[in-house]
Structure 1
Amino acid sequence: MKKLGLTGRILIGMIAGGILGFVLNPFNVDGSWVNFFLIDGVFRVVGEFFVTSLMMLVVPLVFFSLVVGTCSLSDPSSLGRLGGKAIGLYLFTTAIAISIALSVAALIVKPGNNVGLERPGTGSFDASEAPSFVDVLVDMVPRNPIDAMAEGNMLQIIVFALLFGIAMALAGKPGERLKSVFDDVNEIIMKLVMLLMHVAPYGVFALMARVFGDLAGGELLQGLAKYFVTVLGLLLFHGFIVYPTLLSLMARMNPFTFIRKMGGNQVFAFSISSSNATIPVTLKTVKQRLGVDNSVASFTVPLGATINMDGTAIMQGVATVFIAQIYGIPLEFTDYLMVVATATLASVGTAGVPGVGLIMLAMVLNQVGLPVEGIALIIGVDRLLDMTRTAVNITGDAMVTTVIGKSEGKLDETVYNDPEAGLNVQSSNNS
């Protein structure tokens, strides 16, 4: 099992749980031992333990990742023109990604329609009145940051973490000392995330067994298939249509050259499913294959691995619509705006390691009042999509880096247009 890797083990857990759920489904009636000991017993305990563990990490992960990232990239020299361009472009592409995802999922595909699950723990759901957009903006600033953390109000936590990180960067020596502490805490939280992902196959098994054990018919499978195809299609569209189009419009560079030179890097990112682990390869590709000067690339590529999570934003948008539809929970226009704002800002604190996107999804679902238990429905297939999301994310990092390099006069167009440039480096990375 260990040799399979995390993806293989989660896939096995998903399939095995689904098969067992279907097998147990005819015997799952009220009062039966299957219902008491398995569906609402063992599977419920293991599954809810896994979901609760995801929720446990949301607040510390977002806060410490954001503070560390903002502090590292927000010193006085980095808060000028280059930092403004990079952060603005990354957030802009993320907002485009989730807006497209919500539009396609809610208006065209509607992957969760006609499934009709009941909200976990209740027989019906009465949606609370959605706040106005003005209220959403006003409430972004926390009156009490500790209270915001205790209640899990993620927009307020994100705003406070950004301000705290900037203040640390501007504080000089005290900020540097505190940053070293935050770096250590952030590393420990990342270890917690990885520990949790090691038990993910068992959590997925229990969640899928319970879900399919409670269902009759193939409506959910059809919905999951539509969800999977929708997310995959939007990821490919964003990576191979949106990014090249933006590159062509903003930098007037040949988008086909860009896609061709990024191919090896995309395969590498797909195979390891981690934006952070791909940083060295992305840096070499951007500098030696695309011709971006190190003064730009060394800033924008690590920044992109920290805040550019377009692929994750696409998943969150489609998953939010899917979960709302399968539980029959209507979302208002302001809810969609909340999802766009939350997912865009949360991308700043999404670490580039496998599995963190699910924790961010739990945050987004909480923000609009959707049941976090809905993650159980997509977590199995989500791991399969995670590799594609990583390839999309690093493509966005390289695109933004190229655009900024061109605007700053730090792009060697001779290298960019040379199909042989940096091939020796690329081959050494792939060996």
Structure 2
Amino acid sequence: MKKLALHWQILIGMTLGILWGMFASGFGLVNFTLDWVKPFGTIFINLLKLIAVPLVLVSLVTGVSSLSDISRLSRIGSRTIGIYLTTTVLAVILGLLLVNVFEPGKAFSAEKREEFKEQFAGATTEKSSDAESVKKQGPLQPLVDIVPSNIFHSMTDNGSMLQVIFFALLFGIALIMIPPDKAQPVNDFFEGLNMAILKVVDIIMKTAPYGVFALLAGLVVEFAGDDPGSAVELLLVLGYYCIVVTIGLALMIFIVYPLLVVFVGKTNYKTFLKGIFPAQMLAFSTSSSAATLPVTMECAEKNLGINREVSSFVLPLGATINMDGTSLYQSVAAVFIAQAYGMDLDLMTQLGIVMTATLASIGAAAVPGAGTVMLVIVLQQAGIPVEGIALILAPDRILDMLRTTVNVTGDATVAMMIARTEGQLHPVKETEEV
């Protein structure tokens, strides 16, 4: 009997996790779920985080050193960053168009606004203080943060992925510049290490369906508590806002990316979606582009035929700086909060949101909830009351799952485009697809 494909196993795990969460909320099993089920989800996330930094470091070193031509590295790098910035700006503008047309914020009553502000006052203060510390930094601080003072310290923190990428690029370039006979032993070491790390990824992914089940079960019971109806009621109140964000994210996945995949990547979009689907499901359940990166790379290489030379460079970079879904969410959320407070934002203010959201997405860590902290900076730049973030904290975890799925899909789309233009996209047989 043929083994069920990984993405179907993950999908089943997600479904069962949600059902268990609702069942646990209704039958007094909330504490049992939090104590005995959710920890396995945490273990799964820790396993993915465990391998994220080694994977990025080793894959980038092998990818850059295999280029054997610095001018080619410069060409691929400039194209990659250019496309990432373009899709991010497009996502922000799309979000602004949708939120101005549908105006979801105007559906809020003053009573409901005060209720949310009171309920989430603590979380709002925490996000505001985090953002304030970022805001106090100088204009070139993001550039300073890219260069590590101690690479070993950076490798102990998944939030320092840009620093790891910088070191890996620098080390890979150095390997290109030294004599080939001296570089070869180092290249062989990293190639072997890369194979071992990918095998660790395979082992971890065998536990994915169970980890996803535990994650979703824990999420549902935390959201609903002992009353499953409260989760439904809360989502209905904020449903309009969620629908607008979801429409924007759907347009990215089903309109924007298909156009890029078909006309630039010259690949059937159904084939593309089928190949990247396991990574999308994992992104949805983990809300972390960084945690999903090992699977995204595996799907890109095995299912889509993207050469490792391209995937090992473009995808780790995308997981760090390309946040299309997060950028779209930030633009919708900012204007939504302004509408809820009865503010009318002029064109210049909204153009400022485009710029700030784009830059904020580059600096956002590829972990759950990072976009919320960066949103505070967007709100402050636009002169929108920061406490209004309390209005969107309730459904944010669900939307975080959706926008992370868009982020990962965008990374794979750009990787396919770069691979096609570089002649590094190889046909994949149907039997090889997940």
Smaller-chain TM-score range? 0.5 to 0.7
**Residue in 2 aligned with 1:61?**
none
CA contact (8 A) 2:307 2:425 kept: yes
CA contact (8 A) 1:91 1:345 kept: no
C-alpha deviation, 1:252, in angstroms: 2.4
**Residue in 2 aligned with 1:331?**
345
Q: One-letter code of the match for 1:89?
A: I
Say which SS state the counterpart of residue 352 (structure 1) adopts.
coil
Question: Which one of 377, 381, 392 corresponds to residue 363 of structure 1?
Answer: 377
Give the whole-Å Cα distance in 2 for the aligned partners of 1:150 and 1:224. 24
**Residue in 1 aligned with 2:406?**
392
Matched, 1:111 2:91: no
User: Could you report, residue by residue, the CA deviation over 1:226-283 in whole angstroms, capped at 9, with x for unpaired residues?
Assistant: 1011111211121122111122222222222212222222122212221111111111
C-alpha deviation, 1:399, in angstroms: 0.5
Aligned in 2, Cα 1:292/1:158: closer, same or farther, shift over 3 Å?
A: farther
CA contact (8 A) 2:289 2:366 kept: yes
Give the whole-Å Cα distance in 1 for the aligned partners of 2:329 and 2:236. 18
Q: Which runs of 5+ in 1 are unaligned?
A: 17-67, 121-148, 169-174, 190-199, 206-211, 213-217, 427-431
Matched, 1:419 2:425: no
1:77-92 aligned within 5 A:
77=70, 80-92=74-86
Q: One-letter code of the match for 1:400?
A: V
Give the whole-Å Cα distance in 2 for the aligned partners of 1:258 and 1:201. 31
Give the whole-Å Cα distance in 1 for the aligned partners of 2:250 and 2:382. 27
C-alpha deviation, 1:187, in angstroms: 4.9
User: Could you report, residue by residue, the CA deviation over 1:142-163 in whole angstroms, capped at 9, with x for unpaired residues?
Assistant: xxxxxxx996674x95851343
**Residue in 2 aligned with 1:94?**
88
Q: One-letter code of the match for 1:245?
A: L
Aligned in 2, Cα 1:221/1:265: closer, same or farther, shift over 3 Å?
A: closer
Aligned in 2, Cα 1:238/1:188: closer, same or farther, shift over 3 Å?
A: closer
1:3-402 aligned within 5 A:
77=70, 80-106=74-100, 108-115=101-108, 117=110, 154=135, 159-164=139-144, 168=147, 177-184=149-156, 187=159, 224-402=238-416
Give the whole-Å Cα distance in 1 for the aligned partners of 2:323 and 2:108. 30
C-alpha deviation, 1:330, in angstroms: 2.0
User: Could you report, residue by residue, the CA deviation over 1:125-148 in whole angstroms, capped at 9, with x for unpaired residues?
Assistant: xxxxxxxxxxxxxxxxxxxxxxxx
Aligned in 2, Cα 1:402/1:187: closer, same or farther, shift over 3 Å?
A: closer
CA contact (8 A) 1:301 1:398 kept: yes
C-alpha deviation, 1:305, in angstroms: 0.7
Give the whole-Å Cα distance in 1 for the aligned partners of 2:151 and 2:417. 31
Give the whole-Å Cα distance in 2 for the aligned partners of 1:281 and 1:268. 8
Say which SS state the counterpart of residue 377 (structure 1) adopts.
helix
Q: One-letter code of the match for 2:304?
A: L
Percent of aligned positions that are identical: 41
C-alpha deviation, 1:398, in angstroms: 0.6
Q: One-letter code of the match for 1:256?
A: K
Q: One-letter code of the match for 1:104?
A: L
Q: One-letter code of the match for 2:140?
A: F
The normalised TM-score by structure 1 is 0.61
C-alpha deviation, 1:223, in angstroms: 6.5
Aligned length: 305
Give the whole-Å Cα distance in 1 for the aligned partners of 2:352 and 2:237. 24
Aligned in 2, Cα 1:254/1:188: closer, same or farther, shift over 3 Å?
A: closer
Give the whole-Å Cα distance in 2 for the aligned partners of 1:313 and 1:165. 21
C-alpha deviation, 1:201, in angstroms: 11
The normalised TM-score by structure 2 is 0.60
Give the whole-Å Cα distance in 2 for the aligned partners of 1:270 and 1:347. 18
**Residue in 2 aligned with 1:63?**
none
CA contact (8 A) 2:261 2:269 kept: yes
User: Could you report, residue by residue, the CA deviation over 1:321-351 in whole angstroms, capped at 9, with x for unpaired residues?
Assistant: 1100010122121111111111111111111
CA contact (8 A) 1:116 1:327 kept: no
Q: One-letter code of the match for 1:230?
A: V
Q: One-letter code of the match for 1:419?
A: E
Give the whole-Å Cα distance in 2 for the aligned partners of 1:98 and 1:328. 22
CA contact (8 A) 1:158 1:346 kept: no
CA contact (8 A) 1:111 1:223 kept: no
Q: One-letter code of the match for 2:102?
A: V
Q: One-letter code of the match for 1:161?
A: Q
Say which SS state the counterpart of residue 278 (structure 1) adopts.
helix
Q: Which moved more, 1:389-398 or 1:157-166?
A: 157-166
Aligned in 2, Cα 1:180/1:369: closer, same or farther, shift over 3 Å?
A: farther
